[in-house]
Amino acid sequence: MHGGSCCEGEVKKAPTISVVGSLNVDLTFRVPRFPVPGETLTASQAMTAFGGKGANQAVAAARAGARVRMIGCLGNDEYGERYREHLAGEGIDHAGVLAGAGPTGAAFITVDGEGENTIVVHPGANHELTVAKMSELTDLFTESAVALLQLECPLDAVAGAAEVAKDAGATVILNPSPWDPESMERNIPIDILIVNEREAEALPLGSEMGCMPQGCEAVIVTRGARSTWVITEGRTQEVEPPVVTPVDTVGAGDTFAGVFALAHAEGLGLLDAVRLANAAAALATLRPGAQEAMPARGEIEEMLSRGVRQ
């Protein structure tokens, strides 16, 4: 069924989302506080897990109910092979995940006693994704409602993916993380931007909120525990996230982006999509890890039904 509400007995088809982005192996250490230069600290816990902003967002969207096609580049190594099996286990189509010559991307993460984190990334094979490869993968954008992009892959490839996705009729959602100011100077055809507060400060939003980057229909500004801003032409609205006590914030932003993309693809309005994404992101902070902590749709709906104050 296209458009309108779903009728009794009719099964709503899950929307398809194409995620173009990074796949990393994360090595995470839990520390009481972040080390200072020259200092050696003892971690209370060490964990190796599948990560990368692109794959994290793909997993978040898939667990929330999307059919996901992942496009990226893994190393020609054991981690690459294991990552493909993992994606298949999450029900993610990985035909667009290429095999590079270099090692699989890696991230070194510290999480402190407050659940805050620092991340150092070695891109490895993620940086082998090229604009030429993107134009060979156009089929992977056909009939996708949304293309979801971040900036852990080369900017040329991201811009190329956005063009291909737009031509295929998808809504292009960019989460410009890690921040690269050049991304705003490239005329990438972005429909919706998802940024955190620090990234928002660097955006050409003008002196008054509501002055949008060219061509963009909405800018969503996530602000941790504080209200999320939903900025559209001439208007800023606020959505309160659920109140939680985080144990680990790694991947919370990725959870928000993946679930927002799914909600938008399902046809939810901006504010409702942000509510769903906020609930998912809050849940993702309650458990250690990025993908390990991401909730299924049922848990998200359940948290939403309990309201903002838990």
Site residues (vs ligand RIB, CB under 6 A): 22, 24, 26, 51-53, 56, 107, 119, 121, 152, 250-251, 253-254, 290
Question: Under DSSP, is residue 239 helix (H, G, I), strand (E, B) or coil?
Answer: strand
| 15 versus 124: smaller Cβ distance to ligand RIB | 124
C-alpha distances out from residue 8 to 4, 11, 66, Å:
13, 8, 21
Instruction: Please give the Cα distance from 5 to 225 (Å, whole number).
Output: 33
| 52 versus 75: smaller Cβ distance to ligand RIB | 52
- The catalytic residue positions are 254
Smallest separation (angstroms) from ligand RIB to the CB of 109: 6
Instruction: Please give the Cα distance from 69 to 26 (Å, whole number).
Output: 22
Task: Compute the residue count for the chain.
Answer: 310
Smallest separation (angstroms) from ligand RIB to the CB of 1: 35
| 212 versus 250: smaller Cβ distance to ligand RIB | 250
| 128 versus 152: smaller Cβ distance to ligand RIB | 152
Burial status of residue 304 (CB atoms within 10 A of its CB: 0-12, 13-18, 19 or more): middle
Tell me the backbone φ, ψ of residue 265, rounded to 5 degrees: -65, -30
Instruction: Please give the Cα distance from 74 to 95 (Å, whole number).
Output: 12
Instruction: Please give the Cα distance from 237 to 215 (Å, whole number).
Output: 19
Q: Which of 218, 231, 225, 228 is nearest to 282 (CA)?
A: 225
Q: Which residue is nearest to ligand RIB (CB)?
A: 51
Smallest separation (angstroms) from ligand RIB to the CB of 49: 8
Smallest separation (angstroms) from ligand RIB to the CB of 177: 7
